[in-house]
Amino acid sequence: MNGRESLVSLALLSITLGCATAPSSEEIAANAAAMLKSSFKANGQASLDRLKQDETQALCSQLAGKPPSKEVAARIEKINRDAIKYPADGKLLGDWKNGEKIAQEGRGKQFSDDPAGPVGANCYACHQLAPQELSFGTIGPSLYQFGKLRGYGADTQRYAYGKIYNSEAYAACSNMPRFGHSGILNEQQLKDVTALLMDPQSPVNK
């Protein structure tokens, strides 16, 4: 090793020591919080509040892609299940035709979207639903014949509504947004999408 190299490695060593060798997880977490703050700016309807995580988001982020432990999953599912609000009128099924429109609509909540414009659920981005629509994604399972396969009973209706309202109540750290819980869809829209899955007349069940 010549003199220059050893100087460089000495310099490196001192930096390394300064950071207590490899950065610790706590250090990374603290730096990550600072980084978030300095790296985003509010734009239109997308305010910086959106970076404040609730407990579910924080717990799922920490897993870095691995499935949650039994305890964590139970915790997430409980707090989310407790937060589901079912319609006061007890009716869970709306108009499947409108539900289909909501399932097709990809806009809403982006900073580029008109805040007064449509907000959809973009279901087809991730799921197969009506077989006529060939352009569907595969992040979520196929929902073709959702009601036909499971039956059209009250329990299944309640499950479908609850799953769309708050997916985390049934599958901790699911990729699916919590459409009711997070205020993406209103109650009527939630009913309409539930009808798309559960109405025997819906093309999903043909």
Partner 1 sequence: MLALLAAAGWLKPDAAHAQAWNKAAFETHDMAETMKALGGAEPAQSKDIVFFQTPDIAENGAVVPIGIASNIPKTDSIAILIEKNPNMLAATFDIPAGTEPTISTRVKMGQTSNIYALVKADGKYYVASKEVKVTLGGCGG
Partner 2 sequence: MPCAFAQSTVDEIAKYRAALQDGNPAELWEARGEALWKQKRGPKQVSFEQCDLGLGAGVVKGAYARLPRYFADADRVMDLETRLVWCMVKLQGYSEADALKNPFGSGNEKKSDMEALVAYVTSESRGAKMNVALSHPKEEQMYRLGEKMFYFRGGPHDFACATCHGEDGKRIRLQDLPNLTGTEGAQKAYTTWPAYRVSQGELRSFQWRLYDCFRQQRFPELIFASDASVALTMFLARNANGVAFDAPAIKR
Beta carbons within 10 angstroms of residue 119's beta carbon: 20
Q: Is 116 in the site for partner 2 (CB under 8 A)?
A: no
For residue 204, the 8-state DSSP code is G
What would you report as the CA-atom Rg of the chain, rounded to the nearest whole angstrom?
23
Q: Looking at 106, 156, 158, 170, which residue binds partner 1 (CB under 8 A)? A: 106
Q: How far is Cα 160 from Cα 93, in angstroms, rounded to an integer?
A: 10
Q: Looking at 6, 69, 138, 186, which residue binds partner 2 (CB under 8 A)? A: 138
Q: Which is nearer to partner 1, 94 or 120 (CB)?
A: 120
Residue from 148, 151, 150, 102 nearest 127 by CA: 102
Size of the site for partner 1 (CB under 8 A): 10
Token pair for residue 159?
């499950």
Q: How far is Cα 130 from Cα 123, in angstroms, rounded to an integer?
A: 11
φ/ψ (deg, to 5) at 6: -70, -35
Element (H, E) at 154: helix 154-165
Question: Please, which of residues 5-44 interact with partner 2 by CB under 8 A?
Answer: 12, 15-16, 19, 22-23, 28-29, 31-32, 35-36, 38-43
Q: Looking at 95, 105, 133, 187, which residue binds partner 1 (CB under 8 A)? A: 105
Q: Is 104 in the site for partner 1 (CB under 8 A)?
A: yes
Choose one: 81-89, 124-132, 148-156, 194-202; the region binding partner 2 (CB under 8 A): 124-132
Q: By rule CB under 8 A, what string of x and - marks binding of each residue 142-181 to partner 2?
A: --------------------------x------x-xx---
Q: Is 110 in the site for partner 1 (CB under 8 A)?
A: yes
